[in-house]
A and B are shown apart, each in its own frame.
Chain A
Amino acid sequence: MNRIENTFTKLKEKGESALVGFVTAGDPDMRRSLDIVKTMCASGLDVLELGIPFSDPTADGPVIQRSSARSLEGGTRLSDVMDMTRSVRASTDIPIILFSYYNPILAYSPAFFYDEAVAAGADGVLVVDLPPEESDEMTGLWPGDKLSLIRLVAPTTPRERMDYIAQAATGFLYLVSKTGVTGSDGLDLAAIAANTAVLKSISSLPICVGFGISAPEDVAAIAAAADGVVIGSAFEKIIEDNLENPDLITIMGATVKGLKTATVR
């Protein structure tokens, strides 16, 4: 059993939903980013989504755009994210998902990306602008199947397309909570519950819900039905608001602890 399956199986037995945390690698700088991530992992995070910064993040709202820009200003390259992954892996057993736009992976070369990611201890990859229609060109170059390709389902995805996406998915399915970019507001909890139920009826994979979730009560409401809740912009907002604060890392740890309790059903 791989780390992703293992984690979701164990959480299910305990009656918990997974707290999935997204941060951009290298934000605000590599040293602090590593401390932040290690602290998050030690504070109860169940799955880590590590963002590879990109110059033109069209699926992201302003908060993650700025986090990506800060990281790039610090000179973060994909090879640095691989090093960071290796270093995080040395201190934790939770699944690590690399989150990226396609172009940095294409420039790195998909085969090399696979080898490096597996060697560094990553468990999956989510490529936000690579729909199943185009993803064979990447996975076709992968020399093995040790990396899960996490697929997205959106509120706009028609039912028959959900089948198509679910069919090819591995690891878990990522349900986008709303029609909008990351960090936007206006959660429709009823629609999320309905879409989660549909996905559960067509796939046996765990269902994680993300985009614009930050309040503990929303986390609790979504965790009641979904196998995981993804928090991204809310974490990045804390980083951004505490760039000069020496307590930034402690605050991140405490935030993870608080949100984790909301995922316990």
Chain B
Amino acid sequence: MNTLTTPMGEANLDGPNAFPDEMGHFGPYGGRYVGETLMPAIIDLEKAYASISPTPEFQEALQVLLHDYAGRPTPLFHARRLSAEAGGAAIILKREDLTHTGAHKINNTLGQGLLAHFTGKTKLIAETGAGQHGVATATTAALLGMECRIFMGKEDIRRQAPNVRRMELLGARVVPVSSGSGTLKDAMNEAMRFWVSAVQDTFYVIGSVAGPHPYPAMVRDFQKVIGIEARQQILDMQGSLPNALVACVGGGSNAMGLFYPFLEDDIQMIGVEAGGKGIATGKHAATITQGTVGVLHGSKSFVLQDSNGQIQEAHSISAGLDYPGVGPEHALLKETGRATYVTVTDDEALSAFKTLCLLEGIIPALESSHAVAYAMQEAARRSKDESIIVNLSGRGDKDLGILS
């Protein structure tokens, strides 16, 4: 067995499919750190996911929804003018912004929504930051005829107002959360508290590769369609794999979805975290690059915390990246060196946002703009015959209020 010794224990490196182990651990990370009231529910979920998701009935229903409803496959687009501006490698965009509801989040909510449906649950709850996961969950609930309640921080309700209106139109109840900094972490706290009281008939649709096992693996599996498509599309487009993949990392779902099917390939993977107002200011959401190992929201991974183990508030101009935790599989990819993680500031993301609008006629989400910003820097360091796939995880209509 090929193993890696880390400060937290041994990690098995025998292929991506080795993770997580049967206890939900990605090497030293992951696991299930929740109160006993929720343990039976997540154990049941793990069993339901393992038994239902591989069945032809489930897979067929999901494929139909992804294709006919969400609009998959999404295109892979060679952004020539952006590439020329960066001056170097070809920048190729995976257009998750073109899915129904406008972000990759729908891939996961359709998967989890169907699983809820197959297990007889009639109510969905979710936390949301940017509102994209909330909108995708509300959409799925409407489609499947389920009740829906979305927890969203007060600050995020303010800065992502268009998505609040969308969720309400879709029949969801948006519950404002004012504790902490009124952002994604606080919304997730409240969703977990609500779930404890409603666990018998309610399915908690976690929006990223975070949370207790089986969520990190399950959400990754529902998102890996991004990478599976992109891998085939790039081979069709240029006859070879790309040299690098770039994706923004909040909780890490769009990045895991793109990276996972390429893990065995000899290409670079780069996760871009929110550098906020600059790492030196302390106002950032650079969890992997600046954080330390801790337990938050049910799993062990990197977190932003003080020396007493109190979780710190994150900062990012983009609500979807404004989170002091990160999925455990990213922690492992960082530890093993399989992926690298970098940061991009608010200002750099804003500048990339504007550039993409003007040069390609694409309005990206502020989250995705972080990936675009770094891809431009990375492209400049590479030669013209190289290529980089960037996950354009969402569209930016929701962010117009922040920009004006």
Taking beta carbons and an 8 Å cutoff, which residues of A are in contact with B?
Answer: 54-61, 65, 72, 77-78, 101-108, 128-131, 133-134, 151-158, 161, 165, 176, 179-181, 184
Contact = CB atoms under 8 A, between A and B. Distances in A.
Given A103-B309, A107-B307, A107-B308, 7 more contacts: A103-B311, A106-B293, A128-B35, A129-B33, A133-B31, A156-B36, A181-B196
B305 interface: yes
A165 B36 contact: yes
A191 to B, nearest CB: 13
Given A65-B179, A176-B36, A72 B196 contact: no
A10 B329 CA distance: 50
A108 B307 CA distance: 8
B298 interface: yes
Interface string B374-397: 000000000000000000000000
A72 to B, nearest CB: 6
Interface string B290-315: 00011111100001010111111000
* Chain B interface category by residue count: 35 or more
A102 B32 contact: no
B232 interface: no
A131 B196 contact: no
A140 B223 CA distance: 36
Contact of A179 (B37, B305, B308): B37
Contact of B35 (A59, A72, A77): A59
Nearest to B294: A103
A152 B36 contact: yes
B295 A179 contact: no
Given A103-B305, A108-B309, A157 B36 contact: yes
A64 B180 CA distance: 14
A185 to B, nearest CB: 10
Contacts of B34: 129, 131
A95 B263 CA distance: 52
Contact of B40 (A103, A108, A151, A157): A157
Given A104-B310, A128-B35, A59 B196 contact: yes
Contacts of A161: 39-40
B310 A131 contact: no
Interface stretch (B47-55, B185-193, B341-349): B185-193
Contacts of B198: 179
A180 B307 contact: no
Nearest to B309: A107
Contacts of B296: 56, 103
Interface in B301-345: 303, 305, 307-312
Contacts of B298: 129
7 contacts: A59-B193, A104-B310, A131-B35, A154-B37, A156-B39, A179-B198, A180-B197
